[in-house]
Amino acid sequence: MTDQLLDCLIIGGGAAGLTAAVYMGRYKRRTVVLDAGGSRLKLIPVTRNLPGFPDGIEGPELLRRLQQQAARYGIVPQDARVERLVRLDDGSFRAESAQGAWRARFVLLATGASDVEPEIEGIPAALKAGHVRYCPICDGYETEGQRVAVLGRGGHGLRESLFVTNWASEVTWLAMATHHEVDPSELASLRAAGVRIAASPPHRIECGVDGVGVRVELQNGQVLEFDTLYPALGLHHACELATALGARARDNGQLEVDSHQQTTVDGLYVAGDVAVDLNQISVAAGHAAIAATAIHNRL
């Protein structure tokens, strides 16, 4: 907790928040990072499309390196879950949590997003083994030639199923009885791409049992086996602190920003997955650089 008026308060200590911290530290601005510990970097076994890591890097190791880099400029994330963000009469912001309160001229929100997890036992082990993956943009290449199942409803599940056909040799859409909700022309495109649609909704999904990557028992009794499962059940974008101040968000919770990553609330900036854009580490870093520099230029 601090009584000092900060130049910038960064809420979120993942890829976006820590990159912004490095920039603010190098700009020699009074900055604090508050982090609730929920970065999705912790869930990534290996990321292989991040510039500068030709052999890939484990998500937790990348997080550690970013923390170490920010610490070189005197910025060490403080453990705190911000419960309320308010705009004060003088235009500054006050962030409140069970651990205390902080006041800053500008706030950079880097609260990210969280995947909606399916009800499958042993998800952490399945993620580590590569049997369950959440981001085909990140790791679709690693599924080349595999049997892949996509678990998702309606148009979202259909589009993700089509996307992974670029690599997988066999794709099955576990549509959860929602395929009738999509346009027939879209279903025709799906079938033209060779995607199968499961005959009935999943009853039970198991990972890593009897040497099988993913085993799916359907409600009709049919059993299907796959190498990889992509849950496509959506994301929760942690936008509530911003929308409570009146910031405009899309229907999916991503916050709308201008060319400098500022929301519709003056002085409130956003970087990473919670902003409207592609959910990628490299994009989050770009957002952070833009937002941090914009804030620096206004101080």
Note the pLDDT tens digit of each residue in 68-81: 999 999 999 999 99
Handedness of CA 130, 125, 234, 287 (dihedral sign): negative
Residues 174 and 68 both lie in one domain: no
pLDDT digits (tens, 9 = 90+) for 16-27: 999 999 999 999
User: What pLDDT shows up at residue 293?
Assistant: 98
User: What pLDDT shows up at residue 3?
Assistant: 67
Q: Using alpha carbons, select from 124, 125, 88, 120 the residue that is nearest to residue 5.
A: 88
Residues 223 and 240 both lie in one domain: no
| Under 8 Å between Cβ of 29 and 73 | no
User: What pLDDT shows up at residue 2?
Assistant: 55
Residues 81 and 223 both lie in one domain: no
Query: How confident is the prediction for the chain on average, in pLDDT?
Result: 94
User: What pLDDT shows up at residue 119?
Assistant: 81
Domain's final residue, options 215, 232, 249: 232
Domain count, the chain: 2
pLDDT digits (tens, 9 = 90+) for 277-287: 999 999 999 99
pLDDT digits (tens, 9 = 90+) for 85-115: 999 999 999 999 999 999 999 999 999 999 9
Which structural domain, as residue segments, surrounds residue 31?
Answer: 5-114+235-298
